[in-house]
Amino acid sequence: MVPSRPIVSPTLSSPLQGSGAAPLEKDYHSLEYRLTHGHWRIFNSKSVFGNKDASVLVFDKKSNVKAPPKLGKSKTYSMFDLIKYETQQLMGLIHPRILHMEHSLEETKDYISFATEQIFGNLENVVTDESLDRLEIKLGVLQIIDGMSYLHNSAKMLHGNLTPDAIYVTATKTWKIGGFSFAVNAKEPNCYPCYPWTKKLPPCLQPDLDFLAPENLAPGQTTVTSAADVFSLGVLICWIYAGGKRLIDAKSNLETYHIVVGQLDAALQCISNELGPNLKDSMAKVLSLDVEVRPTVQLLSLIKHFDDPCLSALRQLDDIAQVFDPSQKSHFLSQTLNVAIPHISESVWFNRVLPRFNEQLLELPEMYYPITKPLFHILEHCESHNIHKMKPWIRKLMEAAPHNKLLRAFILENMSALFRRLSDEFVEDKCLDVIILSLKSEDTSLQSSAVRGLPHVAEYLPVGFITKKLIPAIMGLPPFLHENVPRQLDLLAALAALSDRCDVSSIVHLFGCISLCNSSHPVIVHAKSRIVQRLVMRDPNRLKDSQLLSIHLLNPLVNGLACKDLSTFSCAHFDDVLSSVRILLDVLEQRRYEMEDRQEHKQSNHHLGLNRLGNRRVSMSSTNLPRVMISAARPSFSSDSRKMSFLSADGRLEDRGSRRESRDSRGSLESDMSIRIGNGSDISDDSCFSSHSAKGRRQSWLDGYGHSVSLEQNTNGFLETTSRNLGDRNSMNFKQRNARASERRARTRSPNAELDPQREQPPARPNSFTNLGHNIVLTYRNLLYKDHT
C-alpha cells in the first residue's frame, strides 16, 4: 500500500524565490534552505516515503558557465557537463566515507537537482568554528584518509580535485567526500590521465589550482599517480589545521603558484604550531616535490599524530554498524569505549558519541547494559545545560531494567546520579519500583545491589516511600541476611543512612530492621554502635520509646560488650560500643526523669510557697557572676570534701564538678552526646526551663542548698527549723524531694571519680544567677530564723 504523499506547493516561491515545479517534488517535500556549498544550494527536506531526513542539492541553470567558443567544438563544455559527470561517478561509489546519493539527477526548466543523505554543513564553516575540538579534527581527517584509501585501492579512481568544497559534513558530523567532477579512473595500475590547467578556461571549470599537485602542471605530462591526490590531501590537511588559511594562495595565477610551491618549507614553518611536531614532519614528506618521497594514503593514517586511544575508540564507534558479532559490540562499548570516555571532551560526547548511540543502538535492547557505563559517566560529568539530552536514553534504560538483570544491578548501585542530575519524575518513580522489585527478588545478587545502593540514595527517598514500602520490603530479608556478616553490614550502613530521613513515628519501624542483623560479630556490634551515635547526634528527641530502645539497641550492645571477640578485635571499637551503651543509658534515664517530672508537675500545680518560688524565672545575663562553694553530699577520701556547685536562675542546684568527672572518665564522644541529650549548657535560663532533660538533672536550689549544708555541718538544725516554719505538710514534701534528689545525684555520679579521690577537678564555669540565688537563700534563712526565735 502506497502511503499518502504530503501536500507540496507546486511552486518554489518559498525556497528558491522562483517559479515552476519544485526539484524532486514527487519524492521530497518541506524544502528548507540550509546553506550554499560550492555551486550547489542545499535544502533540508523530508522524503515522501518514510518521511526520512534528506538534503536536496539544487543548481540554478542561470548560474551555468560555458567554455569559450574559440576552443573549438570538441573543447566546448559547461558546468552542466561537470555536474552530470559528478553525479554519475557519485552514484557508482558506495562507501561510509563517500557522500551517499539517494536520488539520481533530475532536471527541470530552471533547476538541476539530486538528493543525498542529510548534510549538516560545509567544511569551511565547521573548521572555522572555534568550538571544534582537536580530537574531532583528527577524526575528520582520518575519515577523509579512509575515503581516499577506498578510492585508490578499491575503486581505482583518482579524485583529482580534493578541496574544501569536495568535503561534506553530514548530520551525524561525519566528513564525507564528494565533488567528483574531475575524478578519473586508472588506465593501468596506479596510472591516471591528467589534463593541463590553462588560463583559457574559467577557473570554475578546472580543478582548484591551490590544491593541485605540481606534476599536473609539468609540460607534456599526460599521466599521474595516486601521489597527486596525496599532495592535494596534504594541502587540505594544512588548510584544516590552520583554521581555513590556504597554504598556497595563487589566486588562479600559474606564476604565483610555482613561486609558492618552491617555498613550501617556509610556508609549513609558519603553521608549525598549529600542526604540531609529529604532523609537521609528516607534511614535509607529503608536500615534497619529489613524487617518490610522498607516502601512500594508508601509511599516512599510521603516523604518530593519529596514535590516540580516544581517536581509535571514536573510529570504531563510527563503524559499529559494520560489526555483526554481539559479543564484539558488547566488549567494545563496555570496555574500550568506557575507558576512553573520561578522556574525551564534552563537546565530542554530544556531537559524536551520543548521535552514534541514537543511530545504531537505540533499537537494540541487548546492547543497553554495555552502553550503560558510558552513558552514566556522561550524565555524571556533563554540564547542566546538556542533561536534557540524556533523558531519552535514561528513560529507555529504566524501562528495560526490570527485564535485564545486569542492567538492573548496575542501575541500583549507581542510582544516585539519576536523582542528583536528572530531576525527572518518570525516572525517579521507576527507580523506586526497581528498588522494591529487587529487594523482593529471589536473586541474592539483585538484593545485594539494592542494599548496597540504598546509602547513596537515602537522602532522595520520600519519607512515605520509606515507611510504607521500603521498610516492609527490608523486613522480608531474613533469609538473605541469615548468618552472613557482609550482607548484614551492608544493611546496617543502609539503615544508618535511612535513619536521617525518619521522623519520630517512622524511626520506630527502623528499629525492627536493625534487629534483623543479629550476628554477634564485632563489626556488626560496632556498626550498631555507630547507628546509636548517629541517631543521637542527628536528633535525640526522636528516641521516645524506651522499650524499643532497650530491645533493639541497648540489648545487642550490652551483649556485644560481653563478647570476647569485641574486646580483642579493637580497643577503640570496644570503647566506642561502651560509650554508646552509656549514651543509651543516659537517654533512658532522661526519659524516666521526664516522666517523673511530668507527674510531679501535675501534683504540685496547686501548691504555693517554695515550689512557686522555685519555678520562677528571670532572664538575665550570667556573665561574671561569682561562684558558691557548697559541701559535697557524698563521701570522699580526700582532705577537701567540698566540690564546686552552682545555682541557676530558676533556683536549681547544678553540680558541674560531677559532670566534669564523668566527662573525664568517659570518651569525648560520649560526653558530647550526653550533654546534647541532657541539654546541659547554660546558654539561658529560659532554654534550660523549656528542656525536660535539663529539669531532670537539676534539684531545687533550696533543697540542694539545705541538704549540702546539713551534711557539711553534720547537723539537721537548718532543715528542722525550715520544716517547722513551713508546716507539717510542706516539711514532708521537702524531705521527700530532698531524698529523691540525693538518690539521683548518686545515680549520675561518675564511678571513676569516687575511685580516684586524688584526681584534680578542672575549674568549673560560673552558672546563671549564682549570686542572685545565694542572696535569696540567705534572705529566707534569716527571715525563717527570726520567725522561729
Give the pLDDT band of residue 777 (cuts 50, 70, 90). Answer: low
Q: Dihedral (C-alpha) 755, 760, 763, 769: value to the nearest 10 degrees?
A: 40
Mean pLDDT of 88-92: 92
Mean pLDDT of 60-75: 73
What is the distance between the alpha carbons of residues 519 and 526, in angstroms, rounded to a whole number?
Answer: 11
CA separation, residue 338 to residues 90, 160, 261 (Å)? 37, 40, 45
More confident residue, 688 or 377: 377
What is the distance between the alpha carbons of residues 231 and 639, in angstroms, rounded to a whole number?
Answer: 105
Q: Which of 397-411, 608-622, 706-720 is predicted most confidently?
A: 397-411
pLDDT digit string (tens) for 629-686? Answer: 333 333 333 334 333 334 343 444 444 444 333 334 444 444 454 444 444 333 333 3
Is the pLDDT confidence value at 475 over 50?
yes
Cβ(454)–Cβ(490) below 8 Å: no
> Which residues neighbour 327 within 8 Å (Cβ) at sequence distance 6 or greater?
none
Is the pLDDT confidence value at 507 over 90?
no
C-alpha cell at 44: 533540508
Give the pLDDT band of residue 394 (cuts 50, 70, 90). Answer: very high
What local confidence, expressed as pLDDT, does residue 176 receive?
A: 95
Is the pLDDT confidence value at 785 over 60?
no
* Neighbouring C-beta atoms of residue 539, cutoff 10 Å: 15
Mean pLDDT of 683-695: 38
Cβ(146)–Cβ(97) below 8 Å: yes
DSSP string for 639-667: S--EEEEEE-TTSEEE-HHHHHHHHHHS-
Give the pLDDT band of residue 71 (cuts 50, 70, 90). Answer: low
CA separation, residue 670 to residues 538, 575, 583 (Å)? 14, 10, 6
More confident residue, 643 or 732: 732
More confident residue, 156 or 746: 156
Could you give the angle at which helices 522-538 and 485-499 cross, rounded to 10 degrees? 0
Is the pLDDT confidence value at 562 over 50?
yes
Task: Report the 3 state secondary structure along 382-451.
Answer: CCHHHHHHHHHHHHHHHHHHHHCHHHHHHHHHCCHHHHHHCCCHHHHHHHHHHHHHHHCCCCHHHHHHHH
Listed residue (205, 198, 209, 219) closest to 259, CA to CA: 209
Listed residue (410, 402, 464) closest to 433, CA to CA: 402
Q: What angle do CA 36, 37, 40 make, to 5 degrees?
A: 80
Is the pLDDT confidence value at 554 over 80?
yes
Q: What is the mean pLDDT of the chain?
A: 78
- Contacts within 8 Å (CB) and 24+ apart, 304-309: 304/278, 305/138, 305/276, 305/278, 305/279, 306/138, 306/141, 306/142, 308/135, 308/138, 309/339, 309/340, 309/343
What local confidence, expressed as pLDDT, does residue 37 receive?
A: 87
CA separation, residue 252 to residues 38, 83, 237, 238, 263 (Å)? 16, 21, 20, 19, 18
Q: Which CATH number fits domain 28-306: 1.10.20.140, 3.40.50.720, 1.10.510.10, 1.10.287.370?
A: 1.10.510.10
Mean pLDDT of 223-231: 95
More confident residue, 502 or 676: 502
What is the distance between the alpha carbons of residues 265 and 281, in angstroms, rounded to a whole number?
Answer: 11
pLDDT digit string (tens) for 265-291? Answer: 999 999 999 999 899 999 999 999 999
Q: What type of residue sits at position 467?
A: T
What is the distance between the alpha carbons of residues 209 and 224, in angstroms, rounded to a whole number?
Answer: 16
The whole-model pTM stands at: 0.69
Listed residue (247, 290, 250) closest to 269, CA to CA: 247
What local confidence, expressed as pLDDT, does residue 677 receive?
A: 45
Least confident of 213-217, 255-259, 417-421, 608-612: 608-612
Cβ(15)–Cβ(34) below 8 Å: no
Is the pLDDT confidence value at 184 over 80?
yes
Cβ(210)–Cβ(246) below 8 Å: yes
Mean pLDDT of 183-207: 89
- pLDDT over 70, % of the chain: 72
Cβ(744)–Cβ(655) below 8 Å: no
Listed residue (60, 49, 176) closest to 118, CA to CA: 176
Least confident of 15-29, 311-325, 447-461, 739-753: 739-753
Mean pLDDT of 491-500: 93
Cβ(225)–Cβ(191) below 8 Å: yes
What local confidence, expressed as pLDDT, does residue 444 receive?
A: 93
Least confident of 305-319, 551-565, 669-683: 669-683
Is the pLDDT confidence value at 75 over 60?
no
Cβ(137)–Cβ(167) below 8 Å: no
What is the distance between the alpha carbons of residues 588 and 581, in angstroms, rounded to a whole number?
Answer: 11
What is the distance between the alpha carbons of residues 645 and 741, in angstroms, rounded to a whole number?
Answer: 14
What local confidence, expressed as pLDDT, does residue 368 receive?
A: 94
What local confidence, expressed as pLDDT, does residue 700 receive?
A: 36
> Which residues neighbour 567 within 8 Å (Cβ) at sequence distance 6 or greater?
574
Determine phi and psi for 133, rounding to 5 degrees: -75, 145
Q: What angle do CA 368, 370, 376 make, to 5 degrees?
A: 80
Could you give the angle at which helices 717-726 and 728-748 cross, rounded to 10 degrees? 140
What is the distance between the alpha carbons of residues 123 and 127, in angstroms, rounded to a whole number?
Answer: 6
What local confidence, expressed as pLDDT, does residue 728 receive?
A: 47
- pLDDT over 90, % of the chain: 48
What is the distance between the alpha carbons of residues 150 and 22, in angstroms, rounded to a whole number?
Answer: 35
* Neighbouring C-beta atoms of residue 340, cutoff 10 Å: 20
What local confidence, expressed as pLDDT, does residue 780 receive?
A: 52
